[in-house]
Amino acid sequence: MAVYDDLSPYTYWTAEEGIEVADLNVGWLGAGEFPTGPVDPAFLAGLNVLAELPVNATRGTHDCPFCAQAWGNAEIHVLGPDRTIYGAPSLITHYVDAHGYLPPQPFVDAVLIRVRAFWDTIERFDPPAAQEAQFRMSLRWFMGKALTWSLWDAAEVINGGPVSKETFRDFRHWLVWQGSSTFTAAVCRPDTLAAISQIRNGLPLMDPICSITPLAPAEPEFYRVKGIARTQRFPNLTALREAPEGS
Ligand SMILES: [Zn+2]
């Protein structure tokens, strides 16, 4: 794969080729040394979202030069606040996640601004902005992050009965619309859902986009996490609902 210094002028493609060009290079790593360091988890989350909207795909692929366990065949372009377009190989998510690559700060900031724009749309409750492709891509990615057994199990505790995969999808959609801090807390520790007033008071969960999505009982499909009792895993939620043991 082509190797370029971070923040050097982008030259991989030219506009004459009828392709989306960037201004500056980021993350075109070769087998040599590169800057490493911890990154804000929100940055990696944003980068993963952007990786779902790659540009300039090629027919050939490039293997990771460090482990050959990952490959890419496209680029991620990120628009900075000063209108600079940063062009990175799609492998950059793997470089950051698996090899500790620390991209230059202006690029990190540009990605974080995009993540903030997503949560701002949520927190402003802006349905027109929620129709944009970038937003919908982010929404799908965050809903995917909430697709965990633990959260599914917690939804059943809230529901007092089985929750189908369709209902759990609606529940995750509702959860993203609760905003960044509630969402993040619930994905990391589902028992924090007990602090939400609708759940505490046993009210239907009002989804601002899809009207009402109450968790509906008595649906046949459900996951059950074996092992530790629900009362131990979700002490606050089970105290609210006094649900029967699910394990
Ligand atoms: Zn690798």
Q: How far is the CA of 91 from the centre of ligand 1 (A)?
A: 8
Closest CA to 8 of 84, 111, 101, 99: 84
CA distance 189 to 94: 26
Q: Where are the alpha helices (DSSP H) in the chain?
A: 41-50, 92-99, 105-124, 133-145, 149-159, 165-176, 180-188, 197-200, 230-233, 235-241
pLDDT at 216: 46
Q: How far is the CA of 104 from the centre of ligand 1 (A)?
A: 19
Instruction: Give a three-class secondary structure readout of 31-93.
Output: CCCCCECCCCHHHHHHHHHHCCCCECCCCCCEECCCCCCCEECCEEEEECCCCCEEEEECCHH
Domain coordinates in residue numbering, the chain: 15-124, 146-241
pLDDT at 188: 80
Q: How far is the CA of 33 from the centre of ligand 1 (A)?
A: 13
Q: How far is the CA of 93 from the centre of ligand 1 (A)?
A: 10
H or E segment and range at residue 21: none
pLDDT at 76: 92
Q: Is the dihedral of CA 239, 241, 244, 246 positive or negative?
A: negative
Q: How far is the CA of 11 from the centre of ligand 1 (A)?
A: 24
CA distance 85 to 80: 6
Q: How far is the CA of 239 from the centre of ligand 1 (A)?
A: 45
pLDDT at 225: 44
pLDDT at 184: 83
Q: What is the CA radius of gyration of the chain?
A: 21
Q: How far is the CA of 92 from the centre of ligand 1 (A)?
A: 10
> Is this structure's pTM higher than 0.85?
no
Q: How far is the CA of 165 from the centre of ligand 1 (A)?
A: 34
Question: Which tokens belong to 88?
Answer: 């990175």
Q: How far is the CA of 119 from the centre of ligand 1 (A)?
A: 30
Q: How far is the CA of 96 from the centre of ligand 1 (A)?
A: 9
Closest CA to 158 of 172, 144, 140, 179: 172
Q: How far is the CA of 27 from the centre of ligand 1 (A)?
A: 13
Q: How far is the CA of 184 from the centre of ligand 1 (A)?
A: 27
Report DSSP state, residue 9. Answer: B
* Digitized pLDDT (tens) for each residue of the chain, 247 residues in all: 789 999 999 999 887 877 888 999 999 999 889 999 999 988 988 888 788 778 888 888 889 999 989 999 999 999 888 989 999 999 999 999 999 999 999 999 999 998 888 888 888 888 888 888 878 878 887 888 888 888 998 998 888 888 888 888 989 999 999 988 898 888 888 999 999 988 888 777 776 666 545 554 333 333 344 456 778 888 898 888 764 554 4
Please compute, for residue 228, the number of CA atoms within 13 A of its CA located in the half-sphere on the CB side: 7
Q: How far is the CA of 14 from the centre of ligand 1 (A)?
A: 28
Please compute, for residue 218, the number of CA atoms within 13 A of its CA located in the half-sphere on the CB side: 0
Q: How far is the CA of 94 from the centre of ligand 1 (A)?
A: 6
Question: Which tokens belong to 138?
Answer: 């982010």
